[in-house]
Amino acid sequence: MSSESVARTPSELFDLTGKTAVVTGATRGLGRSIVRTLAAAGADIVVSSRKIDACEEAAEEVRRLGRRALAFACHVGRWDECERLVGAAHEELGRIDVLVNNAGIAPTYPSPASVTEELWDKVLAVNLKGPFRLSALAGERMVAAGSGSIVNISSIGSIRSTHDIIPYAAAKAGLNALTVGFADAFGPAVRVNTVMAGPFRTDIARGWDAEAFAERARTFPLRRAGAPDELSAAVLYFASDASSFTTGSVLAVDGGAQWSLAGGGDQAAGRSIFDGRRDRS
């Protein structure tokens, strides 16, 4: 740590005033919490998901906090839309300091043999192909500007897969690998890190079997699911100067759930055991 950073206060280290963050999958669940946290820390926000009405509603919330906001509909699995998103962020807000690759989908299926080529391609496109392209495009601009931070949202399913999330787990394992590769490609100007999420109580949690999840949660060291702001706080750490000496890191924010899953999947607690949502694109 430099002598300059030693002299800075914690509030200064986490301050994002004057910076612009692009957040995908930003209109509900963990993405919406990330938007609120980054805006509260001072960032202007590009709010992106597939539905423009939802983007506009979330962007208005950012504006009420006194920050600038751009609502932009984007299907991250389509590279032409990724290019338009990055271009619009620069044109409207002038820069990208932070990219949060949060959009993701994990469709359910009855058995691995029932996974169609269409489903496989769709899951890989949103969870891996899109983050690759957005990171490549935004990262090059960050390097040219001299600084930046890319934060990927992965899942503990990437290291503890179960039978019902195999394509999703494979994509998230790839996202973990992208983190290390892009950290190497864009360093030292740009840092690239991942938050590996466990089960969180977002709107999707309403579909959980509460009794079964409570039984499973008793095996977690923290004995519960997380609140969304417990993940968005980790995103803020990676987005801000507080993590100035951290890159290529994959941080588990899961209450210790990954270790309780070492023996295999959970049939009763529901298919959302890993990160509390099936579709956040």
Angle at 221 between CA 276 and CA 251, to 5 degrees: 60
Phi, psi at 192, each rounded to 5° = -130, 120
Q: Which helix (H) or strand (E) holds 197?
A: strand 190-197
Sheet holding 250-253, edge to edge: 69-73, 44-49, 20-24, 98-101, 148-155, 190-197, 250-253
Residue indicated by tokens 């169609």: 116
From residue 55, give the alpha-carbon distance in Å to each of 16, 46, 74: 21, 9, 10
Rounded Cα–Cα distance for residues 274 and 155 (Å): 6
Residues serving a catalytic function are: 168
Quick one: tokens of 203? Answer: 């709107």
Region class of 104: left (phi > 0), else alpha (psi between -120 and 50), else beta? beta
